């Protein structure tokens, strides 16, 4: 079973190694900025059709892990 965090990947060749959603060129930080600006998950997915609905809570879970001070190991997109 896929976990939400498995949707977050990092690849030095994609967005300078920033954590991205499923290896596509959409950084987690971009999704979080849109959420912080008050956009809904549906609005974000509409604007970025490469995203899937499940990607939004994955970004939030990744941010929660970072805020907790725990180490999160994310897989390479390759």
The pTM of the full predicted model, rounded to 2 decimals, is 0.84
Residue 78's pLDDT is what?
Answer: 60
Residue 1's pLDDT is what?
Answer: 38
Q: Which CATH class is domain 4-67?
A: mainly alpha
Sequential DSSP letters for 4-19: GGGGEEB-TTSGGG--
Residue 66's pLDDT is what?
Answer: 87
| Average pLDDT per consecutive 10 residues, the chain (78 residues; last block may be shorter) | 82 93 96 98 98 97 87 66
Residue 63's pLDDT is what?
Answer: 94
């Amino acid at each position: 079973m896929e976990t939400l965090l498995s949707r977050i990947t990092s690849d030095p060749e994609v967005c300078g190694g920033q954590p991205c959603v499923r290896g596509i060129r959409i950084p987690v930080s971009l999704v979080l900025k849109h959420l912080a600006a008050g956009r809904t998950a549906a609005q974000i997915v509409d604007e970025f059709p490469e995203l899937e609905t499940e990607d939004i809570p994955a970004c939030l879970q990744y941010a929660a892990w970072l805020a907790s001070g725990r180490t999160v190991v994310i897989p390479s997109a390759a």
